[in-house]
Structure 1
Amino acid sequence: MIDRFSDALYTPTEVARYLTLPASTLRGWIAPADESGSLPLVTAETTTVPGEARVPFVGLAEAYTLRAIRTARIPMQRIRPALEQLARRDQLRHALASERLFTDGAELLLDVADGASGEEAEAVRQLVVVRSGQGVLHEVVRDYLHRVTFEGGYAQVIPLPTFGGAVVVDPSRSFGQPIFASSGARLDDALDLFKAGVDVNDVADEFAISAEELQQAIRGHMSLAA
């Protein structure tokens, strides 16, 4: 059984591709902010072997949430202090993959800010406040995190943005590789058959998915390959 917190399933390149992120952005999230002991934003093993899987499922979930926050144009220098305060005061490991961020969101962060001081407290508060007066975390939850399925308090199933909701990753199925949400069929298997020249409708029937789902997957795959 795969451990979603420790078993390395993906290379950084794969995570960046699944989430349509620049590879350099993901590398920055995996690396510590500086030499002062700051923790990486995305969980990954250290390895010197090129192309080796380094990122566990929880790291993919963390990157997914960071992608959402990045879309909301929140500076990374506001995110790191908030996460470090969560870890120090609440012992909340992998906060970006936690259901508590989904359910408690801004309230959790404001509580953390109350226990911090100086620049760290201000950075945490600014992560919550936006121009409209609503919480940034509320906006992120609405647009992204509600699509995630949680189990045991942490992300379990994540939709891959490129594929229009048709494709997900789930560490309990197909070793965490992309699958169709409706049938559990492996994305790569369906794409291989299509690339071999089999008609879209026949491929869809073979893997118990709709032609529309397959076409979404094909479009997503082509956009990643472009």
Structure 2
Amino acid sequence: MAGSSEEVRFSVPLYTQAEAAGYLDMAPSTLRRWARGYHNKFLNRPDVFGEPLITYLGSPHSPHPSIPFIGLAEGMFLSALRRANVPLQKIRPALELVRQQLGVQHALASRRLYVAGAQLLYEIGDDLGGDDKRETRKLIVLKDGQYVFREVIDRYLTRIEYDDSGNEYARKIDLPGYEVADITVLPGVNFGQPFFIKTGTPLYVVQRDLRAGESVQDVADDYALPVDQVDEVQERIEREAA
């Protein structure tokens, strides 16, 4: 199976930390903490440790690609938590318990999280104390008699397409943060780099031309892309530069 698109998902670093952060619409410093963990020291209270939450295949401080496709998928769920304004440190205990109960190595990138994660978070919450329980319950709502993820989280998870069998891991991601542009990621296409669904044009090509000063209309014409999709990419570039 070595060299197959199946293996690429887990074992081949495709993205630098900065690239993965950009695709997930977050600050690079946030993604680094998720990928490499952290150790915060304080003068008057115990140190705080955080274990890595997404798959990381690189060396510390390396500028080379270090995040595989499965790590990008794991980051999608964590990015959704940020959008829900829930402090990750407060729900780490619950996430660890959910990962254990789901019983798969990459639980945050598995359909099992989408299907059963909300109910598990509710049940696990009873075993947590104080702030941890309160913050964990903010992730879920009761709907038609069962617990589901809040809409802001569900919107992210529905952008992931999963395998139909086995551990049901992510196999395709539609990038978050875009309302108009249809940009997807497949590990076996374009070396795992995001591309426009309409034409197959790599996202980085459009970004490169826009950053070089070409107009939205010219870039859209060059690659036969809808103007509104290219315009949204330009808006995101400007937002990230602000």
Match of 1:175 in 2: 191
2:54 partner letter: V
Match of 1:19 in 2: 24
- Cα distance in 1 between the residues matched to 2:140 and 2:207: 44
- Cα distance in 2 between the residues matched to 1:198 and 1:132: 45
Alignment of 1:43-54 (within 5 A): 43-48=55-60, 50-54=62-66
**Which structure's residues are more often helix, by fraction?**
1
| Contact kept? 1:42, 1:59, Cα under 8 Å | yes
1:72-128, Cα deviation, whole Å (9 max, x unpaired) = 1222234322232234333222222111222223123345567xx5659x9468523
| Contact kept? 2:139, 2:149, Cα under 8 Å | no
Match of 1:32 in 2: 37
Q: 1:67 to 1:191 in 2, by over 3 A?
A: closer
Asked if residue 158 in structure 1 is aligned to residue 167 in structure 2, the reply is no
Q: What SS does the corresponding residue of 1:104 show, helix, strand or coil?
A: helix
Q: 1:200 to 1:65 in 2, by over 3 A?
A: same
1:182 partner letter: K
Higher mean C-alpha deviation, range 67-76 or range 148-157: 148-157
Q: What SS does the corresponding residue of 1:149 show, helix, strand or coil?
A: strand
Q: 1:172 to 1:190 in 2, by over 3 A?
A: same
Match of 2:137 in 1: 128
Match of 2:111 in 1: 99
- Cα distance in 2 between the residues matched to 1:75 and 1:142: 18
1:137 partner letter: F
Segments of 5+ residues of structure 2 without an aligned counterpart are 40-46
What TM-score comes out, normalization by structure 1 length?
A: 0.79
Q: 1:215 to 1:45 in 2, by over 3 A?
A: same
- Cα distance in 1 between the residues matched to 2:140 and 2:172: 32
Segments of 5+ residues of structure 1 without an aligned counterpart are none
Asked if residue 74 in structure 1 is aligned to residue 47 in structure 2, the reply is no
- Cα distance in 2 between the residues matched to 1:76 and 1:17: 19
**Which structure's residues are more often strand, by fraction?**
2
- Choose the corresponding residue for 2:53, options 35, 41, 57: 41
Q: CA deviation at 1:56?
A: 0.8
- Cα distance in 1 between the residues matched to 2:211 and 2:162: 34
Asked if residue 188 in structure 1 is aligned to residue 204 in structure 2, the reply is yes
Q: 1:165 to 1:45 in 2, by over 3 A?
A: farther
Q: 1:124 to 1:191 in 2, by over 3 A?
A: same
Q: Please provide the CA RMSD for this pair.
A: 3.4
Q: CA deviation at 1:37?
A: 9.2
Q: What SS does the corresponding residue of 2:184 show, helix, strand or coil?
A: strand
1:157-203, Cα deviation, whole Å (9 max, x unpaired) = 32333443522322121111121132221122234455667664454
Q: 1:98 to 1:128 in 2, by over 3 A?
A: farther
- Cα distance in 2 between the residues matched to 1:213 and 1:21: 20
2:66 partner letter: R
1:17 partner letter: G
Q: 1:108 to 1:172 in 2, by over 3 A?
A: farther
What TM-score comes out, normalization by structure 2 length?
A: 0.74
Q: 1:132 to 1:18 in 2, by over 3 A?
A: closer
Q: What SS does the corresponding residue of 1:5 show, helix, strand or coil?
A: helix
Q: CA deviation at 1:47?
A: 0.8
Identity rate of aligned residues, in percent? 36
